[in-house]
Amino acid sequence: MNRTTSSSKKQRAQRCRRNRHRAFLLLCCVVLLVSAAGIIHALSGSKERQSDQQPEKYAAAGTIRKSAATLEKYQPASVSLIAVGDNLIHNTLLKDAYEGGGSYDFTPFYEDIKPYIQAADIAIVNQESPLGTGTPSGYPSFNTPQACGDALIDAGFDVVSHANNHAMDSGSSAVYDTLDFWDSRADSGVIRIGIARDAEDRAKVRYLERNGIKIGFLAYTYGLNGYSLPDTNPDLVSLIDKEKIAAELAAVREQCDAVVVLMHWGEEYQTVENSEQNELAEFLTENGATLIIGGHPHVCQPCEWIESENGNRAFCIYSTGNFISAQNQTNTMVEAMLQVTLTRQKDGSVVVENPGVMPLVCYFNSSWRGYRVVPLDDYTESMASSHALAGRCQMSPAHLRSVAAEIFGEYVIGSTIPVTYAAEEEPASNTAA
């Protein structure tokens, strides 16, 4: 009994010591937790006071202000753009525009198509001949009165290309006359592309800004009908040269949101593009072109999306055909007005949307007078029967529609006035070094 009692007392004493030790540890934990909470509270209060004392510093570096700026920069916006083909002033057009006393008026040629041109935020044309001050002439060596340039301004064009095979028809002096003309009309907002006074002038990035979207423009031609550029200015007319094209595309992409490239290429009177055009279109897309507009064949050629291996994507029309001319084949009378929307996405990229081709017809009467461009939808049986080419080739509205449908397929659209997106008060054009 005595040993049992003694053992029980020892066990109770040990339990008491363990309980006191546990209590002590528990108390320490409580103290540590309370202390930690106090420290956290103190630090939090310090940060709040610091923020209260320096609100401007934190607002300037904060994500809220930065996000607002980003949203403003990449706010979705759209620009409507149209492009037509070769403005080719043959001898009979010169006679039709002549008023006597050395005066010409080309404005009636474009009256019927003017509403479509003026509605677009950006309108592009290829002026297929120089605007020289010398004696006017048509095929084969063109020289067009500068009144034609004024008519293009009046019609509503914003971009005029002179990079084509007829640029040097009247010598380098006529090209410099052309440069002088457009530079003297700078207030009109029209920009000229494809010709330059010198290397410095060529290096200027020519662009239009609409709805906050900067769109740059370049133009090139395959050749000059056997003429050579002057040794003193190899940049007078921009020839197709891959190395230069890649460098100029990179320079424009650096300053602009999108790049439109006009290409004078292909084989005359062929309604399908050739392999060289395909290869160049892929090259342009790979190097950053957004939209590719072809000309030179004098007839229309198909359009399609081009996707390069590096992920770039562009829309290409291989030929818009003529815009106005005195040529004498059915296919040369069927013309294209490309209509697209350039849209800035939320990520800042600018893409081509809603591409379509509105077919046009060049009309002139049996006396080879009364030249004008009309939408195919407005071309009537009466106009077909009085057309100068009636009896020489098929000129009925139905046949011309079938030509357009065969070339452009799903991209054919009816007579459509482009949407005007850009605000009137925006600057018309700029150049940047």
What is the tens place of the pLDDT at every residue in 243-297? 999 999 999 999 999 999 999 999 999 999 999 999 999 999 999 999 999 999 9
Question: 3-state DSSP call for residue 409?
Answer: helix
Question: 3-state DSSP call for residue 258?
Answer: strand
d(CA 115, CA 124): 14
Task: Check pLDDT > 80 for residue 184.
Answer: yes
d(CA 98, CA 95): 5
Question: 3-state DSSP call for residue 165?
Answer: coil
Task: Check pLDDT > 70 for residue 387.
Answer: yes
Which fold does the domain 77-411 belong to in CATH? Purple Acid Phosphatase; chain A, domain 2 (3.60.21)
DSSP assignment, residue 140?
Answer: S
> Which of these ranges, 56-65, 268-277, 313-322, 332-341, has the smallest mean pLDDT?
56-65
Mean pLDDT of 325-349: 97
For 403-428, what is each residue's pLDDT tens digit?
999 999 999 999 999 999 987 544 44
Helices (H), 240-305: 242-255, 275-286
Count H helices, E strands: the chain? 13, 17
Mean pLDDT of 132-139: 98
In this prediction, residue 49 has a pLDDT band, given cuts at 50, 70 and 90, of very low
d(CA 220, CA 126): 11
Closest Cα partner for 85 from 304, 329, 373? 373
* b/e per residue 237-251 (b: at least 16 CB within 10 A): bbbbeeeebeebbeb
Quote the percentage of the chain above a pLDDT of 70.
81
Q: What is the pLDDT of residue 72?
A: 55
Residue with the two structure tokens 């439109």: 260
In this prediction, residue 432 has a pLDDT band, given cuts at 50, 70 and 90, of confident
Closest Cα partner for 270 from 295, 245, 298? 298
d(CA 374, CA 395): 14
d(CA 123, CA 129): 18
d(CA 398, CA 384): 10
* b/e per residue 173-192 (b: at least 16 CB within 10 A): ebbbbbbebbeebeebebbb
Task: Check pLDDT > 80 for residue 46.
Answer: no
Quote the percentage of the chain above a pLDDT of 90.
79
Q: Are strands 350-363 and 334-344 parallel, antiparallel or unpaired?
A: antiparallel
Task: Check pLDDT > 50 for residue 57.
Answer: no
